[in-house]
Amino acid sequence: MNNPLFIHTKMMRGADPEDLSDIQFILKHEPLTEVELRGAFDRLRVPDIQELHEAFRAAQPKVLSLVKSEAH
């Protein structure tokens, strides 16, 4: 499995359009499946800062939609 760590760092700003564009670029060149990415989300340890948790949760559906769009 590819290492999704860089994707996680991009997600810490939430659904920022520039970061989502960067994530799409990463996924195009280093593909991950939805299952791999969901597993990585589950294993991620987010610092105990409420704003980071909220940003990460807000970005998850958008990143998963990017994975689905890259799969086609």
The total of structural domains in the chain comes to 1
- 28 has pLDDT over 60: yes
Handedness of CA 47, 12, 69, 67 (dihedral sign): negative
How confident is the model at residue 70, as a pLDDT? 74
CA distances from 6 to 12, 39, 72 (A): 10, 15, 23
pLDDT exceeds cutoff 50 at 51: yes
Of 18-22, 38-42, 56-60, 68-72, the least confident: 68-72
pLDDT over threshold 90, residue 6: no
Residue 48 structural domain: 5-71
> Is residue 1 scored above 50 in pLDDT?
no
